[in-house]
Amino acid sequence: MKKVNKKILIVEDDPNFTSILKEKFSEEGFLIFTAQDGKEGLRASEAEKPDLIISDILLPRLSGMDMAKQIRAKNASLPIVLLTNVKDTSYLEKTKKMGKADYLIKSDIRLDDIVEVVKKRLKVK
Protein backbone atom coordinates (compact mmCIF):
# COMPACT_ATOMS: atom_id res chain seq x y z
CA MET A 1 0.00 0.00 0.00
CA LYS A 2 1.15 3.50 -0.86
CA LYS A 3 1.80 6.00 1.90
CA VAL A 4 0.87 9.60 1.14
CA ASN A 5 1.44 11.10 4.61
CA LYS A 6 -1.59 13.35 4.28
CA LYS A 7 -4.51 13.39 6.72
CA ILE A 8 -8.08 13.64 5.50
CA LEU A 9 -11.08 14.31 7.70
CA ILE A 10 -14.33 12.91 6.29
CA VAL A 11 -17.46 14.52 7.76
CA GLU A 12 -20.47 12.53 6.59
CA ASP A 13 -23.66 11.35 8.33
CA ASP A 14 -24.28 8.40 5.98
CA PRO A 15 -22.30 5.48 7.46
CA ASN A 16 -22.27 3.57 4.15
CA PHE A 17 -20.85 6.51 2.19
CA THR A 18 -18.35 7.20 5.00
CA SER A 19 -17.20 3.59 4.79
CA ILE A 20 -16.82 3.74 0.99
CA LEU A 21 -14.81 6.99 1.16
CA LYS A 22 -12.67 5.77 4.04
CA GLU A 23 -11.81 2.54 2.24
CA LYS A 24 -10.99 4.27 -1.05
CA PHE A 25 -8.78 6.96 0.48
CA SER A 26 -7.05 4.43 2.75
CA GLU A 27 -6.24 2.35 -0.35
CA GLU A 28 -4.77 5.51 -1.87
CA GLY A 29 -2.45 5.82 1.14
CA PHE A 30 -4.15 8.63 3.05
CA LEU A 31 -4.64 8.65 6.84
CA ILE A 32 -8.37 8.97 7.48
CA PHE A 33 -10.39 10.41 10.36
CA THR A 34 -14.17 10.60 10.36
CA ALA A 35 -16.93 12.60 12.01
CA GLN A 36 -20.71 12.16 11.72
CA ASP A 37 -21.93 15.74 12.10
CA GLY A 38 -20.71 19.31 11.81
CA LYS A 39 -19.96 19.80 15.51
CA GLU A 40 -17.96 16.56 15.63
CA GLY A 41 -16.23 17.70 12.42
CA LEU A 42 -15.18 20.97 14.06
CA ARG A 43 -13.73 19.13 17.05
CA ALA A 44 -11.94 16.58 14.85
CA SER A 45 -10.47 19.31 12.64
CA GLU A 46 -8.97 21.00 15.71
CA ALA A 47 -7.72 17.75 17.25
CA GLU A 48 -6.37 16.02 14.14
CA LYS A 49 -5.18 19.01 12.06
CA PRO A 50 -6.12 17.39 8.71
CA ASP A 51 -4.50 18.39 5.41
CA LEU A 52 -7.93 18.41 3.76
CA ILE A 53 -11.58 18.01 4.75
CA ILE A 54 -14.26 16.19 2.75
CA SER A 55 -17.68 17.12 4.09
CA ASP A 56 -21.32 16.60 3.26
CA ILE A 57 -23.24 19.88 3.25
CA LEU A 58 -26.44 18.59 4.86
CA LEU A 59 -25.30 17.38 8.28
CA PRO A 60 -27.00 17.10 11.69
CA ARG A 61 -26.25 19.61 14.48
CA LEU A 62 -24.18 21.95 12.25
CA SER A 63 -24.28 22.09 8.46
CA GLY A 64 -21.16 21.33 6.44
CA MET A 65 -21.26 24.88 5.07
CA ASP A 66 -21.37 26.44 8.57
CA MET A 67 -18.67 24.06 9.80
CA ALA A 68 -16.49 25.00 6.82
CA LYS A 69 -16.97 28.73 7.54
CA GLN A 70 -15.91 28.27 11.18
CA ILE A 71 -12.87 26.21 10.16
CA ARG A 72 -11.99 28.79 7.51
CA ALA A 73 -12.07 31.56 10.10
CA LYS A 74 -9.15 29.82 11.84
CA ASN A 75 -7.39 28.27 8.84
CA ALA A 76 -7.99 30.12 5.58
CA SER A 77 -5.76 27.84 3.53
CA LEU A 78 -7.19 24.43 4.51
CA PRO A 79 -8.69 22.79 1.40
CA ILE A 80 -12.31 21.70 1.82
CA VAL A 81 -14.27 19.47 -0.57
CA LEU A 82 -18.02 19.83 -0.05
CA LEU A 83 -20.22 16.98 -1.24
CA THR A 84 -23.97 17.05 -1.63
CA ASN A 85 -26.89 15.67 -3.58
CA VAL A 86 -28.50 19.10 -3.56
CA LYS A 87 -28.08 20.96 -6.83
CA ASP A 88 -28.36 24.46 -5.41
CA THR A 89 -26.55 27.37 -7.04
CA SER A 90 -26.50 29.33 -3.77
CA TYR A 91 -24.26 26.62 -2.25
CA LEU A 92 -22.02 26.80 -5.30
CA GLU A 93 -21.71 30.58 -4.92
CA LYS A 94 -20.92 30.32 -1.19
CA THR A 95 -18.30 27.66 -1.95
CA LYS A 96 -16.64 29.88 -4.58
CA LYS A 97 -16.45 32.76 -2.09
CA MET A 98 -14.65 30.51 0.40
CA GLY A 99 -11.73 29.89 -1.93
CA LYS A 100 -9.73 26.62 -1.79
CA ALA A 101 -13.03 24.76 -1.70
CA ASP A 102 -14.69 22.42 -4.15
CA TYR A 103 -18.40 21.70 -4.50
CA LEU A 104 -19.23 18.26 -5.90
CA ILE A 105 -22.63 16.69 -6.57
CA LYS A 106 -22.51 13.08 -5.29
CA SER A 107 -24.86 11.71 -7.95
CA ASP A 108 -22.89 13.35 -10.79
CA ILE A 109 -19.43 12.15 -9.79
CA ARG A 110 -17.50 8.92 -9.49
CA LEU A 111 -15.42 7.97 -6.46
CA ASP A 112 -12.26 8.23 -8.58
CA ASP A 113 -13.22 11.81 -9.47
CA ILE A 114 -13.37 12.73 -5.77
CA VAL A 115 -9.92 11.16 -5.30
CA GLU A 116 -8.58 13.20 -8.25
CA VAL A 117 -9.94 16.46 -6.81
CA VAL A 118 -8.36 15.67 -3.42
CA LYS A 119 -5.00 14.73 -4.95
CA LYS A 120 -5.00 17.90 -7.03
CA ARG A 121 -5.79 20.06 -3.97
CA LEU A 122 -3.01 18.35 -1.96
CA LYS A 123 -0.57 18.27 -4.90
CA VAL A 124 -0.23 14.49 -4.60
CA LYS A 125 0.53 12.31 -7.64
Count other Cβ atoms within 10 Å, centred on residue 96: 11
Q: In this predicted structure, what is the pLDDT of residue 108?
A: 80
Q: Among 112, 115, 111, which residue's Cα sits nearest to residue 30?
A: 115
CATH code, 7-118: 3.40.50.2300
How confident is the model over 57-95, as pLDDT tens digits?
999 999 999 999 999 899 888 999 998 877 766 766 776
Residue 1 has pLDDT above 60, yes or no: no
Burial 51-73 (b: 16+ CB within 10 A, else e): bbbbbbbebeebbbbebbeebbe
Higher pLDDT, 45 or 4: 45
Q: What is the pTM of this model?
A: 0.90
Confidence of residue 125 (pLDDT cuts 50, 70, 90): confident
Q: Where are the domains of the chain?
A: 7-118
What is the reported pLDDT for 96?
A: 67
Identify the weakest region by mean pLDDT among 4-18, 46-60, 96-110.
96-110
Nearest one of 117, 121, 118 to 32, comparing CA atoms: 118
